[in-house]
Amino acid sequence: MLDTNHPETASRAYLQMRDLSKVYNTDQGALTALDEINVTQRQGEFLSIVGPSGCGKSTLLSIAAGLSFPSAGEFQIDGKPVTAARTDIGIVFQSPVLLEWRTVLGNIMLQAEAKKLVRRDAERRARDLLKAVGLEGFENKYPHELSGGMRQRVSICRALIHEPKHLLMDEPFGALDALTRDQLIVDLQRICADRATSVLLITHNFSEAVFLSDRVIVMSPRPGRIDKVIEIDLARPRRLGERDGPKFAKYTREILDIFLARGVLHEH
């Protein structure tokens, strides 16, 4: 989480996208997915992106991972252009994508093995992460023995095992029930705060974005443009009950009003 008590941390640019556009060539002609995107993410900041389906959110995340490249504009990490797939990140998708023949610990250690980390140190971190997400004692279970929420917790642990500077998350809680989602966002808040991890979260859930984020980027319908950036001025750590408060409601209403004004949502 962004530490506003330390101005040098709060002002340091980590991720920068300048006048970034992405155009796909299709059978129907050129399709502009992203148009003149300007984003700066500070070191340790939790940044969420909300927007309607098809507005280019996942394309933006793919560019952030170095898995896709802009058609125009600049993308830099720590002041250096990104020209290849990044190895300093963790990624969590909506589906946990676990290997059914590997245990919980084995699935987490897959990342450590790929990066040739010292096994003893990586296994200690894996067990610490499992404890942090409430899965201590489940190390030797297999994916089919876990609930959906448990599997997603394993996925988060796997993404963090190599202590990445940057965590990218694409609708990680979208398939979960409300109670499981609530517990996971509380767990994620604590884990990222403890590790000062920079997080870029794609979500459709306004409440989730406000609860977790230092800033929320609201995107327009395709071609994806940044409609507004909302600073979330809520003290941390945040508690679930605060979502019923007037200040929290003001932020979620602000996002809703943007979507109503753009015709993304209709009340009648």
Token code pair at residue 104: 């919980």
Residues 152 and 256 in one domain: no
Residue 237 shares a structural domain with residue 170:
yes
Q: How many residues does the chain have?
A: 268
Indicate the SS3 state at residue 249. helix
Please give the angle made by the CA atoms of 45, 50 and 53, to the nearest 5 degrees. Answer: 145
Q: Which residues contact 267 (CB under 8 A, 6 or more apart)?
A: 260
Can you give the CATH number for the domain in which 67 is found?
Answer: 3.40.50.300
Residue 127's SS3 state is: helix
Q: What is the pLDDT of residue 262?
A: 79
Which amino acid is it at 59? T
Q: Which residues contact 33 (CB under 8 A, 6 or more apart)?
A: 22, 23, 24, 56, 59, 222, 223, 224
Looking at residue 4, its pLDDT comes to 42
108 with 171, same domain?
no
Q: Is residue 174 part of a domain?
A: yes
pLDDT at 28 over 50: yes
Whether 111 and 185 share a structural domain: no
Classify residue 94: in a domain, yes or no: no
CA separation, residue 228 to residues 91, 203, 204, 264 (Å): 25, 16, 15, 15
Q: How far is CA 26 from CA 23, 29, 66, in A?
A: 9, 5, 22
50/217 Cα distance (integer angstroms): 6
Could you tell me the residue range of the domain that residue 114 belongs to?
A: 99-164
> Last residue of a domain, which of 120, 141, 164?
164
154 vs 173: CA distance, rounded Å:
13
- Give per-residue pLDDT as tens, 118-166: 999 999 999 999 999 999 999 999 999 999 999 999 999 999 999 998 9
139 lies in the same domain as 21: no
Residue carrying the six token digits 């929290």 = 248
58 in a domain, yes or no? Answer: yes
CA pair distance 149, 252, nearest whole angstrom: 25
Pairing state between β 13-26 and 80-81: unpaired
Exposure b/e, 65-83, CB count within 10 A at least 16 = b: bbebebeebebebeeeebe
Model confidence over 184-238: pLDDT tens digits?
999 999 998 888 899 999 999 999 999 999 999 999 988 889 999 999 999 999 9
Number of domains in the chain: 2
Does residue 234 sit in the same domain as residue 138? no
State whether 78 and 185 are in the same domain. yes
Residues 163-183 have a mean pLDDT of: 90
Question: Which residue in this structure is represented by tokens 């959906």?
Answer: 148
136, two tokens: 């201590």
Report the distance separating Cα 229 and Cα 110, nearest Å: 37
In a domain, 109, yes or no: yes
Which of 120, 149, 164 lies at the terminal end of a domain, its last residue?
164
Same domain, 20 and 140: no
29 lies in the same domain as 153: no
Residues 8-24, mean pLDDT to the nearest whole number: 81
Q: What is the pLDDT of residues 31-71, one digit of tens each?
A: 899 999 999 999 999 999 998 888 888 899 999 999 999 99
93 occurs within a structural domain: no
Residues 135 and 240 in one domain: no
Residue 12 sits in the same domain as residue 109? no
Is the CB of residue 197 less than 8 Å from the CB of residue 41?
A: no
Confidence of residue 30 (pLDDT cuts 50, 70, 90): confident
Measured at the CA of 56, the angle between CA 254 and CA 256, to 5 degrees, comes to 15
Cα 79–chain centre separation: 21
My answer on whether 60 and 76 are in the same domain is yes
Angstrom distance (rounded) from CA 92 to CA 232: 23
31 in any annotated domain: yes
